[in-house]
Amino acid sequence: MAHYEDSQTQRAGARFIRRSMAEPMLSREHEFELATAWRKRQDEAALHELIRSYMRLVISSAMRFRHYGLPVNDLVQEGSVGLMQAAARFEPEREVRFSTYATWWIRSAIQDYILRNWSIVRTGTTASQKALFFNLRRLRAQIEEASGTSLDDTGRSKIARDLKVALSDVESMELRLSGSDQSLNATLNDEEETEWQDFLADDRAGPEDSTMYALDIQQRSRWLSEALECLDQRERAIIEARRLAEDEDVVTLETLGQRLGVSKERVRQLENRALGKLRAAVLDYSRAPANSCRRADGDFRQRIPRPFHAGGTTGDWPRAPAAGRWPQ
């Protein structure tokens, strides 16, 4: 992502840096007094003096990250936020210098800003990716300097081991760092109006293919709906519960057997027979649609609409006759 600063902004930033670097250093005793005054009495004057004295620490940290292509003034501002967060949480009674404690807050604030603004695409969403983003260039330079050649697969594997990340993550981050974001609306050159996006292939189906696919789906759904009318009530109940239900709503053979009053093996046989009828009926409709259904044995019978549907209550399930068995 491109970032620009005008000359006025650059001059203002330079003046701020010069004033900050001219602030006097704090002794350990005076630093303790200022930090204690702010922590216990909320003395803003003590806080301002503490912040101004350690602004040089922010500038030093910001300069280490200037090669990421972001304005130094923005890095300094983000580092200042980290410095103030450190001042708010610093505990002087622990006898630790404020600079040691504030360094981590300053670095964290600057790094978070870089990750948010370095690219339009979010980078470094995990701790391992964040470490890889900020250490890949340094480790790559060390390996290339030691070997005298460009980074190869062996060097990438070493970086992956050192940072405890996958080799694919190293390769992906290396590719990301190799170039900045480019606008797809940018022209190839000043003499042409052709844009980069004109060379992107569209993998989506065209209007004709989409229409043909939709019509094909509608036709198949119609054939299946008509073929279901070729089944008797029990066969249709089995097909709708076993084949047409959502994955989480599929009924087991044993459950169907209990509902229908038959064994689960008989349910499996009826399911296979119903699938054969459906297959034969769909083939018949695809060849010559007619108001009749073919049985699995090749005979025809009249289609009879049935009110049963898979989404009904338990009372909608066909039950075995009270004084006999289902026809086999």
Rounded mean pLDDT of the chain?
80
Instruction: Give the pLDDT of residue 301.
Output: 46
* Dist CA 185 CA 197 (whole Å): 6
Summarize pLDDT for 91-146 with one digit per residue, the tens.
Answer: 988 888 999 999 999 999 998 888 888 777 666 667 777 777 777 777 888 787 77
Check the CA dihedral 23-28-30-33 and report its sign.
positive
Summarize pLDDT for 4-18 with one digit per residue, the tens.
Answer: 567 888 888 889 888
* Dist CA 89 CA 87 (whole Å): 5
Quick one: which of 314, 279, 320 has its CA closest to 296?
279
* Dist CA 48 CA 56 (whole Å): 14
Produce one character per residue of 52-70: b if its CB has 16 or more CB atoms within 10 Å, e if not.
ebbbbbbbebbeebeebeb
Q: Residue 231: phi, psi to the nearest 5?
A: -95, 155
Indicate the pTM of the whole model: 0.52
Summarize pLDDT for 215-250 with one digit per residue, the tens.
Answer: 988 888 888 888 888 888 888 888 888 888 887 778
Q: HEC string of the chain? A: CCCCCCHHHHHHHHHHHHHHHCCCCCCHHHHHHHHHHHHHHCCHHHHHHHHHHCHHHHHHHHHHCHHHCCCHHHHHHHHHHHHHHHHHHCCHHHCCCHHHHHHHHHHHHHHHHHHHHCCCCCCCCCHHHHHHHHHHHHHHHHHHHHHCCCCCHHHHHHHHHHHCCCHHHHHHHHHHHCCCCCCCCCECCCCCCCEHHHHCCCCCCCHHHHHHHHHHHHHHHHHHHHHHCCCCHHHHHHHHHHCCCCHHHCCCHHHHHHHHCCCHHHHHHHHHHHHHHHHHHHHHHHHCCCCEEECCCCCEEECCCCCCCCCCCHHHCCCCCCCCCCCC
Residue 292's pLDDT band (cuts 50, 70, 90): low
Least confident of 45-59, 141-155, 209-223, 290-304: 290-304
